[in-house]
Structures are given as C-alpha cells and as structure tokens.
C-alpha cells in the first residue's frame, strides 16, 4: 500500500503543484520522493512509500538499468512476480514485486502485462522511448486510482481524489476528477511538449473469466465437474491458495475479525498458513464494538478457538460521531451505508497503527458480493437474477466496500489484503451453476458454509451465524449504530433544510436527514464533486428505505429466533 501521484503537461509551477501530492502522505508514511522526468520539464512523479517488501530498493518511480526509458509508479502487490520471473527467466535488479511489470511490458506489451498480473494494483507506466503513458487498475479496484484530464492534454493521476482537486491548470478553473475504472487499462500518446492524448481505454478482464495468469500458477489441479463434494474441495484449495500467496511481506501481518463468517474463515486459515510458514510471531486479530455488541462476543469466541492474540477495541457513540468528519474526508464519498460501516473500521485501524506493529491487515471484504451474502438475496426472483446482481455488486465494489476498506486502513498507513477477491477463487465461484450459489434453507452463503462444515476451522455456531452488517454488529441489538446516528442527526438537520434538499443537492438528492448530514460534510471538503458517487447503495427486490440489514423483515424474523 502506497500513494502514487503523477502529472503530465502541467502549465503551473511543479513545486507548487506538488503540494497536492502531500494530501495522500498517509498512504506511505515511510518515505517520500518527488521526481521530474528527464527531457520533460512539466512531467513528474510523486510517491509516498509504505515499505512492505524490499526495504533497500523499493522506492519509486522504479527504474532499472535494462530499461532506462521506462518509469513505473504503482500501488499494490503482485503475488505471482517470482513465478513469472522464473518462468520467463527475467533478470531482476530489485526484490520489488512491481519490477515484473517492466519485464512483462518489454516482453509482450501492455495488454499481456496486465492480464498476467495476479494481484491488486494501480499503476502509471511511462515509456519515453515509444512516447507512451499507460494507466492500469486491477479487476475489482482493490487499489484506488483517480485521474483528471483536460482537452488540451494535461493529465493528473493519483491514488486518491484529494491529491488532484486543488491542482491548477490555465484552461480549466474546475478540474474534472474521476475514478479510473477497475479492470481497465488506458493507452495515451506522450507529445514533445509533455501533454498527452488518449488512444484507447480497454477492459482487459471480466470477473467471470479465468485470468490468463492461471496458466502459470502453482495451484494443485482442480477436479472437473459440479458435484457438490468436488466443488467444495476446489473451493477449499483455491481459498487456501488465496491466503497463502498474500503472506508476501516483510512486515507483521494482522487480521480484522468481526466474528462473522467471512472474517472468521480468513483469520482461521491465515493463522494455519502462518504456522505452516513457520512465522515466529503470533497472529494479532482485531475486533471493534460498543459494549455488549454481538460482533465482540462472536469475535472473542473465534479468537479463542483459533488461538490468536486478540485485541478488542471499544468505542462509544460520542467517539463514533466525533470522527464522522474525518471519515468522510478520508472516504471521498457520502454514501450512507459506506459512511456508517467506515466509522468502526477507521477507529480499529487507528488503534492498530497506534498500539501494535501489525501493518499488513487481512480482511473478509468482497465475500458478500461474491457469495450472495446480503440478506436481500433471499428475495431474488431467480438464481439467474441473483447471479446478475452478484456480478453488478462486484463491478461496483470500488464505489462501496472496497473503497471503505482501502481508505479507512490507508488513512492510518496500513495495507489491506482481501483474499475473497482473489482472481482464481472469485472466477471459479462465479463459474458455478447459478442455483448452487443462492441462499438455501433460509441461510445465505450456504455453499461457502457447507464448504468448511467438516474443517473445524471455526466454531460451528459461527460458521452458521446469520449475516450481520458491520455497521450493525458493532453495536447491540437494543440500539444499533444506525439508530444512534439517526438520533444525533435529528438535531443537526431540520425539516426546512430537508424541504429544500432537492434545490441544494439536485444530484443524488438525500432522502433522509442522515443522508443530508453526510452530504453537507462531503460538500464542505469536496464542493461540486457529488458525481464521484453514481448512486446510493441500497438492497434490491424489496421496498427498502434504509440500507441497514436490521430494517429488513428477514433479519427481524431470524433475530427473534
């Protein structure tokens, strides 16, 4: 996890413009570099480093003697870099995983390069010999990337939008900043004056398709067919492998543990893998909640079962409300469910940074979208419609859960790893017959639960624990976090403000006082940038007025049981 920033064709003084790069300093607390491009006085790179691999040669932009005309700035981890290096017999100059991008590009061009990367990434690659600039982002957008480009060819790129919004350009008083789409790469021509022109934007991978790099990985051979036992065995193999490859780091590994199915499976498998790798330190797991929260109790049970060094972080409603402003600034969104869920994750990340030496943090993000874990999937009209919805949610992860997971951890200089979004695991899961993936017997994620039924990885009652939204589970059933927020906001936003909401906020007009309150904070930090969020996250197939799972009829009936 790092912060990347680059400008091409800047009209303004670079020493002034580079102040914007400091807006993302939290992403890389270990070192900073600002570097001009030879021969292009108006082009430069900025890089904030979190040193996770190769302490000596890990600074960026990465340049190697063999390709003096290539400049690479990237944020991410390429888990198969050694496999690729050995297979193609590349001569490495560093131990940095991203160096593989330079070698693959030289060998086969940009299309083959991005398709061969098993990992999460956002990159800017400059080729001064062929006068090209390339931008690329991983399939699910686990690593963030934003860009701004003007009609006259000024290009600015950054890990977070906050590093671009204050940039100056002579022809544009208001620079349009937008997220770079996941699963895409862009090719741009670099002109002699440092300006660029977009040549093509290419979608290189769909989450359903087995990635090209699968041809070269060392996963044991999967069994063919869709017999239940076969599928369960394949899923266990791929999940194990997804965690194993993510152990790649020189820093201490920890794990977020809510006590729900997803984070519990990750924590248990991670601890098993760390033991097999003979890692010398105990795994630290972290849970957050208010007193008597259901998550804290469940997480404690899992931690005792697996034997982790468990940390419980308590917070009260005042502390949660106090950080709303900085959370929304970090997130760069005003989506209601994202803000709610981010408070707990932001506070637990703050605790980890301040009180421990764990830096690489595993988490269960992506599972609900992949395995149809949201409670509203019980209402899907057909398995095919459920499949469509699952793929839509995965496609939009970069706007919601993946955005939350990245920003709340990166704000405190931590690096998040999300094994459920592993390319091999997710593409295999999505290849299964639609009716195999739907909720069964009133239980969501039935196939995933069944897969680990006989493993004794986690306690049985946790394995079959019903879905609890993170923003709900951190508080008690008596008074959930979203109710606490709504009670507070009731005194901050009055009815007259709501009456004029459509005039004040014509795009994505907030329908509730809570939504209005978040939007106000967002507009204060990022005026006129509401279009970063295309739509609010809401459940489907039901007449929901609130995104909380606790407002759904299915939740109420199972909670009473």
Cite the annotated binding site for ATP by residue number. 256, 288, 363-364
One of 2, 44, 73, 158 is an active-site residue; which one? 2
Evaluate the CA torsion angle 493, 532, 367, 407 in order and state its sign. negative
Helix (H/G/I), strand (E/B), else coil: 31: strand
DSSP state of 58: -
The answer to whether the CB of 137 falls within 8 A of the CB of 143 is: yes
Helix (H/G/I), strand (E/B), else coil: 127: strand
DSSP state of 535: S
The answer to whether the CB of 518 falls within 8 A of the CB of 367 is: no
CA distance 209 to 283: 34
Rg of the chain taking only CA atoms, in angstroms: 23
Task: Output the 3-class SS for 275-315.
Answer: HHCCCCCCCEEEEEECCCCHHHHHHHHHHHHHCCEEEEEEC
Evaluate the CA torsion angle 426, 430, 431, 432 in order and state its sign. positive
Residue 354 burial (C-beta neighbours within 10 Å; 0-12, 13-18, 19+): exposed
Helix axes 513-525, 481-490, angle to 10 degrees: 80
Task: Output the 3-class SS for 358-393.
Answer: EEEEECCCCHHHHCCCCHHHHHCCCHHHHHHHHHHH
44 in catalytic set:
no
Residue ranges of the binding site for L-glutamine = 97
> Is the link from the previous residue into 291 a cis peptide, with omega within 30 of 0?
no
How far, CA to CA in Å, does 241 sit from each of 74, 157, 237, 323, 447? 24, 33, 6, 37, 19
How far, CA to CA in Å, does 263 sit from each of 342, 371, 473, 529, 553? 16, 14, 13, 33, 25
Beta bridge pairs of residue 74: 123
Helix (H/G/I), strand (E/B), else coil: 123: strand
Residue ranges of the binding site = 97, 256, 288, 363-364
**Chain centre distance of CA 418:** 8
| Residues with catalytic function | 2
């Amino acid at each position: 996890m790092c912060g990347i920033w680059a400008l091409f064709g800047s009209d303004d003084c670079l020493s002034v413009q580079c102040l914007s790069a400091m807006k993302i300093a939290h992403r890389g607390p270990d070192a900073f570099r600002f570097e001009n491009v030879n021969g292009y006085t108006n082009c430069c790179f900025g890089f904030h480093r979190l040193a996770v691999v190769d302490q000596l040669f890990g600074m960026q932009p990465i340049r190697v003697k063999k390709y003096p005309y290539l400049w690479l700035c990237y944020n991410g981890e390429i888990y198969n870099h050694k496999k690729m290096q050995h297979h193609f017999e590349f001569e490495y100059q560093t131990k940095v995983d991203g160096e593989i991008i330079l070698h693959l590009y030289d060998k086969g061009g940009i299309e083959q390069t991005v398709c061969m990367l098993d990992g999460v990434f956002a990159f800017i690659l400059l080729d001064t010999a062929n006068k090209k600039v390339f931008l690329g982002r991983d399939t699910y957008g686990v690593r963030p990337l934003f860009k701004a480009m003007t009609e006259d060819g000024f290009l600015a790129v950054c890990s977070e939008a906050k590093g671009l919004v204050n940039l100056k350009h002579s022809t544009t008083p208001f620079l349009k900043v937008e997220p770079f789409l996941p699963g895409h790469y862009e090719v741009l021509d670099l002109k002699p004056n440092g300006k660029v022109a977009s040549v093509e934007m290419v979608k290189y991978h769909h989450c359903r398709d087995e990635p090209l790099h699968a041809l070269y990985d060392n996963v044991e051979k999967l069994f063919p067919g869709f017999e239940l036992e076969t599928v369960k065995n394949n899923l266990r193999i791929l999940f194990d492998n997804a965690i194993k490859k993510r152990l790649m780091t020189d820093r201490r590994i920890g794990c977020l543990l809510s006590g729900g199915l997803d984070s519990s499976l990750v924590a248990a498998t991670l601890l098993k893998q760390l033991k097999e790798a003979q890692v010398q330190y105990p795994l630290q797991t972290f849970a957050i909640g208010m007193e008597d929260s259901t998550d804290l109790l469940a997480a404690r049970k899992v931690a005792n079962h697996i034997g982790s060094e468990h940390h419980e972080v308590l917070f009260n409603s005042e502390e949660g409300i106090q950080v709303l402003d900085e959370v929304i600034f970090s997130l760069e969104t005003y989506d209601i469910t994202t803000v709610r869920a981010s408070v707990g994750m932001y506070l637990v990340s703050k605790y980890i940074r301040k009180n421990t030496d764990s830096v690489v943090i595993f988490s269960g993000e992506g599972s609900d979208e992949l395995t149809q874990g949201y409670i509203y999937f019980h209402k899907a009209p057909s398995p095919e419609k459920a499949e469509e919805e699952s793929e839509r949610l995965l496609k939009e992860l970069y706007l919601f859960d993946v955005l939350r997971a990245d920003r709340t951890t990166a704000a405190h200089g931590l690096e998040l790893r999300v094994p459920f979004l592993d390319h091999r695991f997710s593409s295999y899961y999505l290849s299964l017959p639609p009716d195999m993936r739907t909720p069964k017997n009133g239980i969501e994620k039935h196939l995933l639960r069944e897969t680990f039924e006989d493993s004794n990885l986690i306690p049985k009652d946790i394995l079959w624990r019903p879905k609890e939204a993170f923003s709900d589970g951190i508080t008690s059933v008596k008074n959930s976090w979203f109710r606490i927020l709504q009670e507070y906001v009731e005194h901050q936003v009055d009815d007259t403000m709501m009456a004029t909401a459509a005039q004040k906020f014509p795009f994505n007009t907030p329908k509730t006082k809570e939504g209005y309150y978040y939007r106000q904070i967002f507009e204060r930090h990022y005026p006129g940038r509401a279009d970063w969020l295309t739509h609010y996250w809401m459940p489907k197939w039901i007449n929901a007025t609130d995104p909380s799972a606790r407002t759904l009829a299915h939740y109420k009936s199972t909670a009473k049981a």
